[in-house]
A and B are shown apart, each in its own frame.
Chain A
Amino acid sequence: MFEPDVIYDSRRVILPTDHTRPTTERPWVRRLLIGIAVVFMAAVLVLPLVLVFTEAFRKGAETYFSAFADRQSQQAILLTLLVAAIAVPLNLVFGVAAAWCVAKYEFWGKSFLTTLIDLPFSVSPVVSGMVYVLLFGAQSVLHPLLKAYNIEIIFAVPGIVLATIFVTFPFIARELIPLMQDQGNTDEEAALSLGATGWQTFTRVTLPNIKWGLLYGVLLCNARAMGEFGAVSVVSGHIRGKTTTMPLDIEILYNEYNFAAAFAVASLLAMLALVTLVFKTILEYRFGDELAGTRRH
């Protein structure tokens, strides 16, 4: 029947009449558009990435690795890992619970609830951090109470964790909701009709169905959790070696004109980003059907 591949192969030998195909552009237009896209992407996206690594190694490998010998940078790395290790699992549990109740049931105010879940995406990171400063900071009504029990939240690790949870809040839920909605309830109903308990249904039927989508969400959530800057910056107080995560460490080093060290730490985060992208691409390529479509943020 008609040609199966919609994509037009520009490497193919072009027949004299080929440009007359009604659903593609002339070869020079195609080349021009590809050129524009490639140059634009290279200038805006690729160049900064390349620069991170060249700047990091500009003064040689020794300088590069000495940046990580610094105790304060080491602590920043540890704190970043700790924050992600708390924020991601919490948002994972929430994401599954929220997706379950939104996707499996019809209830009043459902679309309002999904809008609220998306809310942290539309809030400036600075505001995300600031809400906790207002709630727990020195001028808040809760402050005397916290002080009485010697609980430190703002300018301390708990505040950083809270701010990170806030900004990464919707990632997993948003990945799972459309996926589970697409899959419908029939598998679960079948399992229940065969005598499975609710928990068995979830672990043996639902979870295998959503595992790749879940992994995908975790991946994106983790990348953001480790890389969050604005929200964390507001609540951290920038106490080097105590309340600085890697992105904050980068800022401090950069502002101290210690560019080599700043880019060395940045290169770690850039590597994390690349690994995330690779896994993400593999997941989309291998399990595209089991993810919730190709649109994501």
Chain B
Amino acid sequence: MDIRVDTVRKEFSHYPALNDVSLDIRSSELIALLGPSGSGKTTLLRLIAGLEMPTAGRIFFGDEDASSKTVQERNVGFVFQAYALFRNMTVLDNISFGLKVRPRSTRPPKAEIRRRAMELLDLVQLSGLEKRFPQQLSGGQRQRVALARALAIEPRVLLLDEPFGALDAQVRKELRKWLREIHDRTGHTTVFVTHDQEEALELADRLVVMSQGKIEQVGTPDDVYDRPNSPFVFSFIGESSSMPVTVENHELWVGGRAIGLPAPNDAVGEANLFFRPHDVELVEDGAALAGVVAASRRVGGTRRVELEIGGNPNRVEIDLPFDHPAGEKTRIAFRPKRWRVFPQA
């Protein structure tokens, strides 16, 4: 099921939580809404579900305008951050709830409901636990029940709000892989919200990076990581270093010296240079960024070096292999291998 979000705006007591957002979600893709808290990602997810109604704009499920449909009519599978399992029902009752509450005309017979719930229980690898109550399950198991419950209604789209947020690191990794498998097997269009970029990069077909109620960038994980289109995306996704530079003569300058980075298409004037700390090469001579080592510490297999460049108080970080001889030096000259320049606001 394709989903089209068309210039949707959402205000909460006149404060815009979403600012004219448009987004196309393709059928069967696994797409992540990624952003810091307050970026509007959960609001967008809840608008798609119909848990909130947009102040303006439309939401299409396929060709059908779903904007004015209630959440019950939209038939979406929603997995809540804290799972929202019904404590007064067993695992089996939780999973079959969505089928049991259907109007009599579309409700499957009892035996069929049970069969389908058991099948889903099997899919989420919890067979044998159908008589348990939610509070007798571990966090990971609850997550699986929540997913099975959402899948039971044969949703047109699966929406997950911070699905792994409440789990510890080990379980989170396992479930991540497992969610990908389930998605590949069932082929549901799936949207999930996360603030964890690693999760988004690993799991999603495409990422939607959001900030302050707007979409900053949409693309595959590689796209977003390799070609961030704004300073926000560059610094939000992955490690980044940045420093002020000047663009002149189609070249970048720092403190009146060219640093050996061409800038053929950038506007002349003050700008910010962004690069990845690990994506640099050390330079013995020639134009480069040269700085005094202000601090250096080993982080696992790499050595992170903080450099002061041209008396700029904001230090720039680069990564070296932890046993690199340059780690002992007091001055280091380097050039980013890949970089982006954004004009200063």
A binds B: yes
* B39-68 near A? 1/0 per residue, CB < 8 Å: 010110010001111000000000000001
Question: CB within 8 Å of B: which of A1-49?
Answer: 1-4, 15, 17-18, 20-22
CB distance from B45 to the nearest CB of A (A): 10
Contact yes or no, B46 A2, CB < 8 A: yes
Chain A CB within 8 A of B118 CB: no
Contact yes or no, B43 A21, CB < 8 A: no
Contacts of B42 in A (CB 8 A): 1-2
Contact yes or no, A3 B52, CB < 8 A: yes
Contact yes or no, A20 B46, CB < 8 A: no
CB distance from A26 to the nearest CB of B (A): 12
The docked-state distance in angstroms from the alpha carbon of A18 to that of B46 is 15
Contact yes or no, A2 B43, CB < 8 A: yes
CB distance from A15 to the nearest CB of B (A): 7
The docked-state distance in angstroms from the alpha carbon of A228 to that of B17 is 56
Question: What residue of chain A has the Cβ atom nearest to residue B71's Cβ?
Answer: A22
Contact yes or no, B50 A22, CB < 8 A: yes
Question: What residue of chain A has the Cβ atom nearest to residue B72's Cβ?
Answer: A22
* A201-234 near B? 1/0 per residue, CB < 8 Å: 0000000000000000000000000000000000
Question: What residue of chain A has the Cβ atom nearest to residue B39's Cβ?
Answer: A1
CB distance from B59 to the nearest CB of A (A): 12
Contact yes or no, B71 A15, CB < 8 A: no
The docked-state distance in angstroms from the alpha carbon of A1 to that of B212 is 10
* B13-49 near A? 1/0 per residue, CB < 8 Å: 0000100000000000000000001101011001000
Contact yes or no, B68 A17, CB < 8 A: yes
Question: What residue of chain B has the Cβ atom nearest to residue A15's Cβ?
Answer: B53
Question: CB within 8 Å of B: which of A140-190?
Answer: none
Contacts of B52 in A (CB 8 A): 2-3, 21
Question: CB within 8 Å of A: which of B97-140?
Answer: none
CB distance from A37 to the nearest CB of B (A): 26
Can you report 25 residue pairs joining A to B where beta carbons are below 8 Å apart?
Answer: A1-B37, A1-B38, A1-B40, A1-B42, A1-B43, A2-B42, A2-B46, A2-B52, A3-B52, A4-B12, A15-B53, A17-B53, A17-B68, A18-B53, A20-B50, A20-B53, A20-B68, A20-B70, A20-B71, A21-B53, A22-B50, A22-B51, A22-B70, A22-B71, A22-B72
* A249-291 near B? 1/0 per residue, CB < 8 Å: 0000000000000000000000000000000000000000000
Contacts of A22 in B (CB 8 A): 50-51, 70-72
Contact status of A1 and B17, CB under 8 A, knowing A22-B70, A22-B71: yes
The docked-state distance in angstroms from the alpha carbon of A3 to that of B43 is 9
Contacts of A1 in B (CB 8 A): 17, 37-38, 40, 42-43
Contacts of B72 in A (CB 8 A): 22
Contacts of B50 in A (CB 8 A): 20, 22
Contacts of A2 in B (CB 8 A): 42-43, 46, 52
Query: Which residue among B40, B53, B71 has the maximum number of chain A CB atoms within 10 Å of its CB?
Result: B53
The docked-state distance in angstroms from the alpha carbon of A15 to that of B17 is 18
The docked-state distance in angstroms from the alpha carbon of A17 to that of B54 is 9
CB distance from B200 to the nearest CB of A (A): 18
Contacts of A4 in B (CB 8 A): 12
The docked-state distance in angstroms from the alpha carbon of A15 to that of B46 is 18
Contact status of A3 and B12, CB under 8 A, knowing A20-B53, A22-B51: yes
Contacts of B71 in A (CB 8 A): 20, 22
* B250-274 near A? 1/0 per residue, CB < 8 Å: 0000000000000000000000000
Contacts of B17 in A (CB 8 A): 1
CB distance from A25 to the nearest CB of B (A): 13
Question: What residue of chain B has the Cβ atom nearest to residue A20's Cβ?
Answer: B70
Question: What residue of chain B has the Cβ atom nearest to residue A4's Cβ?
Answer: B12
Contacts of B40 in A (CB 8 A): 1
CB distance from A172 to the nearest CB of B (A): 35
The docked-state distance in angstroms from the alpha carbon of A1 to that of B50 is 15
Contacts of A21 in B (CB 8 A): 52-53
Question: What residue of chain A has the Cβ atom nearest to residue B161's Cβ?
Answer: A2
The docked-state distance in angstroms from the alpha carbon of A8 to that of B327 is 61
Contacts of B53 in A (CB 8 A): 15, 17-18, 20-21
The docked-state distance in angstroms from the alpha carbon of A69 to that of B38 is 68
The docked-state distance in angstroms from the alpha carbon of A3 to that of B52 is 9
Question: What residue of chain B has the Cβ atom nearest to residue A22's Cβ?
Answer: B71
Contacts of B38 in A (CB 8 A): 1
The docked-state distance in angstroms from the alpha carbon of A224 to that of B128 is 56
